[in-house]
Structure formats: structure tokens, C-alpha cells
Amino acid sequence: EVQLLESGGGLVNPGGSLRLSCAASGFPFSSYAMKWVRQAPGQGLEWISGISGSGVSKFYTDSVRGRFTISRDNSNNTLYLEISSLRVEDTAVYYCAKESRDYGYLDYWGRGTPVTVSS
């Protein structure tokens, strides 16, 4: 059974940093690209970052490029998102998701970890 479990969220001051983790199990982790998607309170879903199975290729949406860093540890089946220079508008639930090999859809999602940026 595929499982994705995010952790690391919390309350942080503007300008602060956090490292989010996503522990994966139930599938050959290194064979699949992974994504981070966030959802601000009462808002829609926003794709923010993706990483290839090998970890070599990384992609970001414009609003987080230069502030967020995606990485993965394939030996420990864990995906990471380092988030820094946080802004109030980064407040959201952050989900990790597994990408399918074909069609590019997101077939499994974690339950999410909440990040609140506030002074």
C-alpha cells in the first residue's frame, strides 16, 4: 500500500525557515518523480515544486523559485522541501504527491502538513 506522510510544518515568523519532509513507502521510491502542492486557507491547489526520481531535475513555480529547495534521499525514501524567506502568503497546507510514470498525473497524496507564517 502506497503511503506518504508529511511532517515538519508549524508556526514560523515572516522571514523564517522550515524543512518539510515526506516519508514514502509501498512503492520503489527512486523510480518516481515527486511533487509538492500547497493549498492556502479557503483557496485552491497550487503546484509549487517537482523533482525527478534520480533527484537530478528540479522544477519550481515562479513564486517560490529561489526561496524553496526540493530534494530527496532515495536511500531513506524521503522527500524534502526547504522553505525559507517565508512570507505571510506562504501560509498553507503543504502536500507531497507521487507522480505516475505516464500521463503525468498525481496518483497518491499525503495528508498534508500545515505551515503558518505569522508574527
Sequence-ordered alpha helix ranges (H) in the chain:
none
Q: Which of 50, 34, 53 is nearest to 99 (CA)?
A: 34
CB 109, min distance to another protein, A: 4
Please report, as a single letter, which amino acid is at residue 52: S
**Residue number with CB closer to another protein (73 or 107):** 107
Calpha distance 96→34 (Å, rounded): 7
Q: Hey, which residues does 69 pair with through a beta bridge?
A: 82
Closer to another protein at the Cβ: 14 or 40?
Answer: 40
Shortest distance (Å) from residue 75 CB to another protein: 25
- How far is Cα 77 from Cα 80, in angstroms, rounded to an integer? 10
**Contact set with another protein (CB under 8 A):** 35, 37, 44-47, 50, 57, 59-61, 95, 100, 102-112
Max CA separation in the chain (angstroms): 43
Q: Least distance (Å) from another protein to the CB of residue 59?
A: 5
To the nearest whole angstrom, how small is the minimum distance from the Cβ of residue 103 to another protein?
A: 4
Q: Which is nearer to another protein, 16 or 91 (CB)?
A: 91
Which residue, 37 or 81, is less far from another protein as judged by CB? 37
